[in-house]
Amino acid sequence: MISCVPPPPAVAVALTGPPAAVAPAVLAPDDAVLLERAAAGDATALDELFRRYRTVAYRVAYRLLGNEADALDAVQDGFVNAVSHVARFRGQSSFRTWLLRIVSNAALDLGRARRRRLARTAPGCPSPDELTLPAGDPDPDAGLRRQDLRLLLDKALAQLPLAMRQTFVLHADGGLTYREVADALGISIGTVMSRLFYARQRLRTILGDQVDA
């Protein structure tokens, strides 16, 4: 990740004019407009886009990677690619759908790179996965705390095939409809149905009764 100095906080300006009731209502700019402006170098537009979609992008990336730092890197890559390739956004889908597709692809790319990195771990050295994921079955007497449950879910998601995992995460965490997932991934809605159904079946098998709890 590139090191950056955080931007200075925004300065609130007190208005001395009439109350806000007489001021005309200002509609929030459309995503496509913000995207065009951000691509042209408008930092304010980029700020607004980032504020709107950073959380959902992070959720998708995190579910695909199971690691906060990697997920933030995927979010960064996704925003950079989305804004710098604005010409490819033809408005046939929403910006949210388009961005989540880019972020999920960036996350999968990072995941592949991480697996290659893990494959190069010297014998006898702990791998990063061993440091971030539970090593074995959790202690049944202590119960699963929230963090443990999350790590268990991350591990279960990691066992799904890539395409199935991407489809499931875009729907469950990205909040995309079946149709939007189909558009984002370029597959039929029947394939989306099938992948989601079998992803849930597998997760249920892996997680056991945790889902029903």
Supply 4's token pair: 């950056």
Q: Which of 17, 18, 41, 136 binds another protein (CB under 8 A)?
A: 41
Contacts of 39 (CB under 8 A, 6+ apart): 83, 84, 86
Looking at beta carbons only, is 79 or 89 nearer to another protein?
79
Q: Which of 63, 96, 101, 165 binds another protein (CB under 8 A)?
A: 63
C-alpha 163: how far from its chain's center?
Answer: 15
Q: Which of 48, 50, 133, 163 binds another protein (CB under 8 A)?
A: 50
Tally of residues, the chain:
213
Residues in contact with another protein, counted by CB under 8 A, come to a total of 52
How far apart are the C-alpha atoms of 211 and 199, rounded to whole Å? 13
Looking at beta carbons only, is 22 or 73 nearer to another protein?
73
Residues 65-84 interacting with another protein (rule: CB under 8 A)? 68, 71-72, 75-76, 79-80, 83-84
Q: How far is CA 82 from CA 27, 78, 212, in A?
A: 24, 6, 38
Contacts of 65 (CB under 8 A, 6+ apart): 71, 74, 107, 110, 111, 114
Q: Which of 149, 158, 163, 206 binds another protein (CB under 8 A)?
A: 149
- Closest by alpha carbon to 55, among 175, 165, 153? 175
Task: Please give the residue ranges that form the binding site for another protein (CB under 8 A).
Answer: 1-7, 38, 41, 43, 46-47, 50, 54, 58-59, 62-63, 68, 71-72, 75-76, 79-80, 83-84, 146-147, 149-150, 153, 172-173, 177-179, 188-190, 193-194, 196-198, 200, 204, 207, 210-213
